[in-house]
Copies of this chain bind each other. A is one copy, B any other.
Amino acid sequence: MENMFWIGFIGAIVALLFAALQRNKVMAYSEGNEKMQKIAASIRAGANAYLKQQYTTVFKVFVVVFIILLVIAFATGGQMLSKFTPFAFVTGGIFSMLAGFIGMKIATNSNARTAQAASESLNKGLRVAFSSGSVMGFTVVGLGMLDITMWFFLLRYAFGVNDPTALGNIMVMNGMGASFMALFARVGGGIYTKAADVGADLVGKVEAGIPEDDPRNPATIADNVGDNVGDVAGMGADLYESYVGSILATFALGGVAGYGFKGMLLPLALAVTGIICSILGSFLVKTKEDATQESLLKSLRTGTYTAAILAAVIAAPLTYVILGNMGVYVAILCGLIGGCAIGYFTEYYTSDTYKPTQELAAASETGSATIIIGGISLGLKSTMASILIVAAAVVVSFFAAGGGTAYGMGLYGIGIAGVGMLSTLGITLATDAYGPVADNAGGIAEMSGLPESVRDRTDALDSLGNTTAATGKGFAIGSASLTALALLVSYVDIVQSKTEEVLDLSLTNPLVLVGLFIGAMLTFVFSAFTMSAVQKAAQSIVVEVRRQFKTIPGIMEYKADPDYASCVSLCTKGALHEMVAPALLAIIVPIATGIVLGPLGVIGLLGGVSVTGFAMAVFMSNAGGAWDNAKKYIESGHHGGKGSEQHKAAVVGDTVGDPFKDTSGPSLNILIKLCSTVSIVFSGLILAFNLMNIL
């Protein structure tokens, strides 16, 4: 049975084939009239241009890191770093990039097609958008499986690494490339999309009083480009990283638990099962021609839940056959249920069908200050549910998997819970990635002057996307915390295996405590960097849009075209310029902490960044989501409706929330894991050279 890892290739091929099929299905649709094609082409061009420049910048950083890793690995004869790691770093980066790039390609080809399909019927619009999301979803999981299985075969069969613990410890380092790429994609894309969005809203909506996506707004194309480079390409790279990270972290814990290769086979088998269940589930996403919004949501949910339940059912015999420890199955269930529960609470706190967001909307009655205070306190309060769920998942997984008697087995339970949470990522990501496509379709409908009824349909698809995105975020954020804990444990094991001294990991050890402080600091400062990046880039857009309104006569009367390209180029410059500092922070802080405080400081740092980063990510995502939907709630006619003072206050809230939910919040997920993998990769070096050793 221990040789059955080829199922990973099967899973990869099935997922990628399915993605290709879905792509062909989407491309068969018409892209609409000439105007629509033209707009779609500009968005595509802008997104391509940005990604090209982003990849060029990232390429340079990758080369530098690759060389550093190469030197460490080969200069020390593989003692301080496995010789495979530099190469795995590169493949991880490339696959993560590809995942985002392919998702973006299909999304920019689907937006006009979705608008055109929606002009025929709501159901057709749903099908095109969902198929487009599926391409992304299954590309991510397919490439992930491919990367993992490929390296597993290379290491075990080509290079003869036959000890499961050693193999796991090498493989866990492979996550670093994917995390690094994902951080750039999320941060860069997040800055781009929110700078454009904030800039477009502040001048267009608030000052000039023109609607969203109005063709008179010079930042509107940049805004639509942003949806693709941030919400699509960024998210793709991000979830690729989450998926691969959760599996690799569990690989490393398989050795600690004493399960050998079987401990690695189980997460792989679970992932393959999840792929097949996701495909089955996605066939259920269809609806009648006269679909309402409720029936659309129901059809999406039917798909997701069927996939999750199927996966949960199949996981039982799978766990029994592979490991024979049904406690591990309980841990897997914990992951699946925990993910759904976090998703539910995310929806509860951010959807305008529930009380919190409705109350937030009511705070607009007393102005923008109270809606800001209200949103911040809503977001802070919402961390309670997510943290209690994760806490319960950790404790139950640990003890159920056998942690009461065998520590390592319990830790493996925490890791596998993370894999369980992400096993049906193929379909949850499809429902998530479909949102930005629907959003763009709406923009194209508006800009190309399609009838009101089409815009109504794309709005229905879009608002549905907000709800499913909430669930998707729940899975991503929940799994990040579990994976981070698994990686923390791997780090300790790896360091402990390299030194004879027994590490004093006590929380009362001042080095650990100080590390904790630095972890919290990293979270706060990283959030600050990403937020102020958005602010700076957005300010430049505001200035540019104001300038165009003033200096180009006739824009407001539709007599002159605004200069869209200048906003696209400003966003590109801003995003590229601002993304480097926060990304480097994630590499430099763990290494510097290690050099000054030694491995114990790093352990504290990883604990601090995992805990604070998780809480902060939940806070930021939920506050941002709630502000967004409170604004939409007001726009739908409550508290004075569109154009009222309350609405203006709500727009301020939404604008503040933009970098919260689409830049800083989701980047924190990646930060947490990147810190861990960086620490693991550099652990040999740090162990040998740190001030605590020298002093």
Q: Is there an interface contact between A525 and B383, defined as CB atoms closer than 8 Å?
A: yes
Q: Which of B411, B524, B607, B652 contacts A516 (CB 8 A)?
A: B607
Contact, CB under 8 Å: A514 / B377: no
**How far does the alpha carbon of A651 sit from the alpha carbon of B543 in the complex, in Å?**
22
Instruction: List the one stretch of A170-178, A365-373, A431-439, A469-477 in contact with chain B.
Output: A365-373
Q: Which residues of B contact A403 (CB under 8 A)?
A: 510
Option from B514, B529, B542, B611 in Cβ contact (under 8 Å) with A366: B542
Shortest CB-to-CB span from A662 to chain B, Å, is: 13
A512 interface residue (CB < 8 Å to B): yes
Q: A507-B604, A510-B414, A521-B387 are in contact. Are A655 and B528 (CB under 8 A)?
A: no
On whether the beta carbons of B532 and A384 are closer than 8 Å, the reply is no
Q: Which of A226-234, A319-327, A391-399, A421-429 contacts B (4 or more CB under 8 A)?
A: A391-399
Instruction: Write out, one digit per residue, whether chain A residues 354-388 have a CB within 8 A of any chain B CB (1) or not (0).
Output: 00000000010111111011101111110110011
Does A597 make an interface contact (CB < 8 A)? yes
A612 close to B (CB within 8 Å): yes
A104 at the interface (CB under 8 A from B): no
**Interface membership of chain A positions 508-546, coded 1 if the CB is closer than 8 angstroms to chain B and 0 otherwise:** 101111101111110111011101101100110011000
B residues near A11, Cβ cutoff 8 Å: none
Q: Which of A47-55, A126-134, A292-300, A485-493 contacts B (4 or more CB under 8 A)?
A: A485-493
Q: How far does the Cβ of A483 sit from chain B's closest Cβ, in whole Å? A: 13
Contact A369 to B202, CB < 8 A, known contacts A380-B531, A395-B514: yes
- Asked whether, in the complex, the Cβ of B507 is within 8 Å of the Cβ of A384, the reply is no
Q: Does A390 reach chain B (CB closer than 8 Å)?
A: yes
Asked if A525 and B366 sit within 8 Å, CB to CB, the answer is no
Q: A206 on the interface (CB 8 Å rule)? A: yes
Query: Which one of B206, B365, B380 lies within 8 Å of A527 (CB-CB)?
Result: B380
A395's partner among B507, B511, B603 (CB-CB below 8 A) is B511
Which chain B residue shows the least CB distance to A386?
Answer: B521
Task: Select A387's contact among B366, B384, B508, B517, beta carbons within 8 Å.
Answer: B517
**In the complex, are the beta carbons of A612 and B520 less than 8 A apart?**
yes
Contact between chains at B513 and A380 (CB < 8 Å): no
Pick from A411, A485, A513, A651 the residue with the most CB of B within 10 Å. A513
| Candidates B369, B507, B528, B532; contact of A507 at CB < 8 Å | B507
A380 and B414 contacting across the interface, CB-CB below 8 Å:
no
**Across the interface, which residues of B come within 8 angstroms of A368, CB to CB?**
368, 652
CA distance A394 to B390 in the complex (A): 31
Do A384 and B612 have beta carbons less than 8 Å apart? no
List residues of A (134-167) whose CB comes within 8 Å of B's CBs.
none
Q: Is A188 located at the chain interface by the 8 A CB criterion?
A: no
A568 at the interface (CB under 8 A from B): no
* Bound CA–CA A534/B372 (angstroms): 12
In the complex the two chains form, what is the Cα distance from A235 to B612 in whole Å? Answer: 28
Whether A591 is near chain B, meaning CB under 8 Å from some CB there, is no
Task: List, in ascending order, chain B residues with CB within 8 A of A603's CB.
Answer: 507-508
A548, chain B: closest CB distance, angstroms = 15
Determine the distance from Cα of A383 to Cα of B514 in the docked complex, in whole angstroms: 14
Q: Does A377 lie within 8 Å of B535, measured CB to CB?
A: yes
Residues of B contacting A411 in the complex (Cβ-Cβ under 8 angstroms)? 508, 510
A237 to chain B, nearest CB (A): 24
Q: Is A444 in contact with chain B by the CB < 8 A criterion?
A: no
User: In the bound complex, how far is the Cα of B515 from the Cα of A546, in angstroms?
Assistant: 50
Alpha-carbon gap, A365 to B207, bound state (A): 13
Check B390–A517 contact: CB distance below 8 A: yes
How far does the Cβ of A172 sit from chain B's closest Cβ, in whole Å?
15
**Which residues of chain B are near A542, meaning CB under 8 Å?**
366-367, 370
Q: Is A608 an interface residue (CB 8 A)?
A: yes
CA distance A603 to B387 in the complex (A): 17
Do A517 and B381 touch (CB < 8 A)? no
Query: Is residue A443 contacting chain B, with contact meaning CB distance below 8 A?
Result: no
Could you list 11 further interchain pairs (A-B, Cβ under 8 angstroms) beyond the known A390-B517, A506-B507? A372-B656, A373-B532, A374-B532, A383-B520, A394-B510, A394-B513, A485-B510, A489-B508, A516-B607, A517-B615, A612-B612
Give me 16 A-to-B residue pairs in the complex whose CB atoms sit less than 8 angstroms apart, sorted by A's number. A202-B366, A202-B369, A363-B539, A366-B539, A373-B659, A377-B531, A377-B532, A384-B524, A387-B520, A391-B518, A507-B603, A517-B614, A520-B615, A524-B615, A524-B619, A611-B612
9 tightest Cβ-Cβ pairs between the two chains A and B = A380-B528, A369-B655, A381-B528, A377-B532, A505-B506, A377-B531, A387-B521, A377-B528, A520-B615
